[in-house]
Structure 1
Amino acid sequence: MSEVFAFTDKDVESVRRCIQAIAEGPFLPDWEFATVMGFKRQELQDWLALDVFEIEGDAMKMAIAAMNNLSGYPHGKNEELEDMTNLARNEIRPLLVKFKKAKGLEPSSSYFDNLV
């Protein structure tokens, strides 16, 4: 694993599950997915198919956007979210803050400040 910061292996897996959930789940409608995420759904799925899990560059932006939208977008699918990520919706925002701090980025609790 590269310099996956002060994250535990569990944190890294949680971030990956968030990216997978937003890419494969019902949380964002197809017609606005790319606008809200900044990436096409297929781009996230392609990254998930890679054997290497490095959270740099576009993958870092994908991770931030995934956690931000899972915790802030009004999807109304909290049960599905927990099933797919093993995290309650209110556990994702603290993970996002921890991730951004570990990456040397300014953390924010605002949905709009975290849009990529």
Structure 2
Amino acid sequence: MPDEMPHDVRHDSSKGVRAWRESLTDRDEGTLLACLRAAVEGPFFPDWEFHTLFGLDRDEVRAVLTSWPSCENPEDQFSAVNNAMNNLLGYPHGRDDVWPEFIPASRTEVDDLLWRIREASGANDDVRAWLANQLEGFAAMEAENLIRKSSLLRDVVTAARRYTVPIPDRLLRACGPEGLDGHRGEPSPAEAGVSLDVATEASPSSSRSSGMAS
């Protein structure tokens, strides 16, 4: 049975992450540090919810910022960076009005940088494995159960397209123009201009949108 989808499948600590800092440019590093500073010093995240969002206390994220690039715990460093950027993009903080005061990059630029960091670290591979497992579970379901799980299925299929995870034809048809419950669902692959073989789509940077983090 597929698990309930997390609020954002990119929110994780990615234990055992691969080296990811080597490919950062000076501009990348400046954007990354600005995001950490915004998370720690900005008005984006309330204290009462900070640990829930980050898996770390505000002071722990501040320690990652002040000690950069040194770190005692690479997993905490990655988690702070990943969750700062991801939550700035996805958490409904409602403070885009002060974004330019803290971050010298657009949302699109931050999203692109986060994607590259997660690709280099292997974190996106963890998401792909999770999605493949969910799709396998859905593909084995009876039609009645698919209908009951239609909302979750559409979320998983949307994420699978973004992460270029192959989607069984049965599930693509189920998420077609009529939807699973007789109501119009998301566009069929043909309507959306999406190849049935998701694995042969364009590169992640061109096939994805900011959907999972917006």
Alignment RMSD, CA only? Answer: 2.1
Whether contact under 8 Å (1:82, 1:89) holds in the other structure is: no
Q: Aligned partners of 1:3, 1:102: CA distance in 2, in Å?
A: 5
Q: How does 1:11-50 map to 2 (within 5 A)?
A: 11-50=28-67
- Structure 1 residue 47, shift from structure 2 partner: 2.2
Match of 1:93 in 2: 111
Q: Structure 2: which amino acid aligns with 1:94?
A: D
Partner of 1:70: 88
- Distance in structure 1 (CA, Å) of the matches to 2:23 and 2:64: 23
Aligned equivalents of 1:75 and 1:89: distance in 2? 14
Compute the TM-score of the two structures, normalised by the length of structure 2. Answer: 0.46
Q: Report Cα offsets for 1:56-98 as digits up to 9, x if no partner.
A: 3211010000000001111111131221011222322111101
CA contact (8 A) 1:70 1:92 kept: no
CA–CA separation in structure 1 for the residues paired with 2:86 and 2:52:
14
Q: Indicate the structure (1 or 2) with the bigger Cα radius of gyration.
A: 2
Displacement, 1:21? 0.7
Size of the aligned set, in residue pairs, is: 109
The residue that corresponds to 1:114 in the other structure is: none
> Runs of at least 4 residues of structure 1 off by over 4 A?
none
- 2:16 corresponds to 1:6: no
- Between the two structures, name the one with larger relative contact order (CA 8 Å, sep ≥ 6): 1
Note the residue ranges of structure 2 that are not aligned, 5 or more in a row: 1-18, 126-162, 164-209
